[in-house]
Amino acid sequence: MRQSQLFTKTIRETPRDEKSINSRLLIKAGFVDKLTAGVYSYLPLGFKVLKKIENIIREEMNKILGQEVLLPALHSKKNWEITDRWHYKEMFKVKSREGKDFSLGWTHEEIITPLVKKFVQSYKNLPVFVYQIQDKFRDELRVKSGLLRGVEFIMKDLYSFHRDEKDLDKYYEKVKKAYFRIFERCGLKKQTFLTLASGGTFSKYSHEFQTITPAGEDEIYLCQKCKLAVNKEIIEKEKYKCPKCKSKKLEIKKAIEVGNIFKLKDKFSKPFNFKFKDKDGKEKPVLMGCYGIGLGRLMGAVVEVHYDKDGIIWPKEVAPFDCHLLALSGSKKKFERKIGKVSEKLYQDLERAGLEVLYDDRKDKTAGEKFAEADLIGIPIRIIVSEKTLKRGCVEIKKRKEEKTRLIKLNQIINYVK
């Protein structure tokens, strides 16, 4: 993409009312725009990152045989009355002009359970794994953390349906692995811990995926002896002792809950009277699991972990582009033309080689301005074409996270970048 065509611009001033690093950097670099607290637009650069994250999640969900659907965001009251959750405090409610009650989806157990019930009668129809990637709405109170806590936000929610606990447990472990692959591909492997959390009334524990960063709204407790991570609720219940090894040596860390997996068992199948006929001819309740990841929160978490004083440093797989090609203006007309010609060809060659390139072809920006914007936007590889580099038949390459630059011969560049 040519930067001259990008309708958005980076913003010079740091947005004053933004407290969190992720929203400051993402707004400043032109990835997102804030409509009001907790409500964001994704601009072309941010949309590209969002789609990369979405595709990583989709690939990993498909690998564990999740079937993608899109459920309504607008829910009817009766579904929520069945589970007695119509008065949930974070749920937005809306009325039609004829006075019919609706709510905006903040989660989808109440929709997916009766839906899957329509297609499952016997053990032969189980298990079922269904997921969607969709907007959720929650009337959140503390919305000061940018993309980490939205009032409207995008979530991937997967629901699984099983004959028995053994099958649920087996799938639950598969989801754990898929989640780790997702966070690894998003560049958060080192910082993300599987954390014991409360399981509600139906399971002893659920699991959160907590990414350690000072920006986190949660606190996790890392056992220094057995390395178990536990959330605040659990550690309070356990009187500040590790639930596994009973050690009291705990390290407290701030963390972002990027994902949550939960064994629901028959919590929702019961109120919806969702049963199946088992092999032995008996009717039994279907057992469920649910598994969430917030896409915006994940994008915000990536920024909170990967940035420096100059801007964002995107991990490779979620970067909006693979490389940022900067054409610097020359001192004379002759060079100006040559730089233009070489950059243009390089841009096309790189794209043809399957690389995604942001091409800074703007003529009205100084080298300093281009460098500063490139650092702010944070694409992993920067390629510079200038009078100086061309005099040596080269371009200059610099990785965003390294100081070191190197000159590469023009004909070697594609291989080098790849």
Q: Name the token pair of 83.
A: 């589970």
Residue closer to ligand ATP, measured from CB, 153 or 314 = 153
311 forms part of the interface with ligand ATP (CB under 6 A): no
Q: How far is the CB of 3 from ligand ATP (least distance, A)?
A: 30
Are 329 and 371 in contact, with CB atoms under 8 Å apart? no
Would you give the DSSP letter of residue 277?
E
Which listed residue (216, 259, 289, 320) binds ligand ATP by CB under 6 A? Answer: 259
Q: How far is the CB of 140 from ligand ATP (least distance, A)?
A: 5
46 forms part of the interface with ligand ATP (CB under 6 A): no
Q: Which residue has the tokens 């009291």?
A: 248
Residues in region 139-198 near ligand ATP by CB under 6 A: 140, 149-150, 153, 155
* H or E, element range at 236: helix 232-237
Please tell me whether the peptide bond between 320 and the residue prior to it is cis, using omega within 30 degrees of 0. no
Rounded to 5°, the CA angle 39-213-309 comes to: 80
Q: Name the token pair of 210.
A: 């907590």
Which listed residue (191, 260, 343, 386) binds ligand ATP by CB under 6 A? Answer: 260
CA 140/CA 156 separation, integer angstroms: 19
Residue closer to ligand ATP, measured from CB, 152 or 375 = 152
Q: How far is the CB of 164 from ligand ATP (least distance, A)?
A: 25
Q: Name the token pair of 378.
A: 């944070």
Residue closer to ligand ATP, measured from CB, 303 or 384 = 303
18 forms part of the interface with ligand ATP (CB under 6 A): no
Residue closer to ligand ATP, measured from CB, 126 or 151 = 151
Residues in region 278-307 near ligand ATP by CB under 6 A: 292-294, 296-297
Q: What is the largest CA-CA distance in the chain?
A: 86
382 forms part of the interface with ligand ATP (CB under 6 A): no
CA 1/CA 33 separation, integer angstroms: 20
Q: Name the token pair of 314.
A: 């995107």
Are 386 and 405 in contact, with CB atoms under 8 Å apart? no
Number of residues that bind ligand ATP (CB under 6 A): 16
Q: How far is the CB of 329 from ligand ATP (least distance, A)?
A: 42
Cβ of 168: how many Cβ atoms within 10 Å?
A: 22
Are 340 and 2 in contact, with CB atoms under 8 Å apart? no
CA 396/CA 409 separation, integer angstroms: 9
Q: How far is the CB of 23 from ligand ATP (least distance, A)?
A: 12
**Nearest alpha carbon to residue 182 among 32, 66, 70, 288:** 66
216 forms part of the interface with ligand ATP (CB under 6 A): no
258 forms part of the interface with ligand ATP (CB under 6 A): yes
Are 256 and 297 in contact, with CB atoms under 8 Å apart? yes
Residue closer to ligand ATP, measured from CB, 37 or 414 = 37
- 392 to 334, 347, 348, 417: CA distances (angstroms): 16, 19, 21, 19
Site string for ligand ATP, 58-97 (x = CB under 6 A): ----------------------------------------
108 forms part of the interface with ligand ATP (CB under 6 A): no
Residue closer to ligand ATP, measured from CB, 39 or 353 = 39
Residue closer to ligand ATP, measured from CB, 158 or 381 = 158
Contacts with ligand ATP by CB under 6 A lie at 107, 138, 140, 149-150, 153, 155, 257-260, 292-294, 296-297
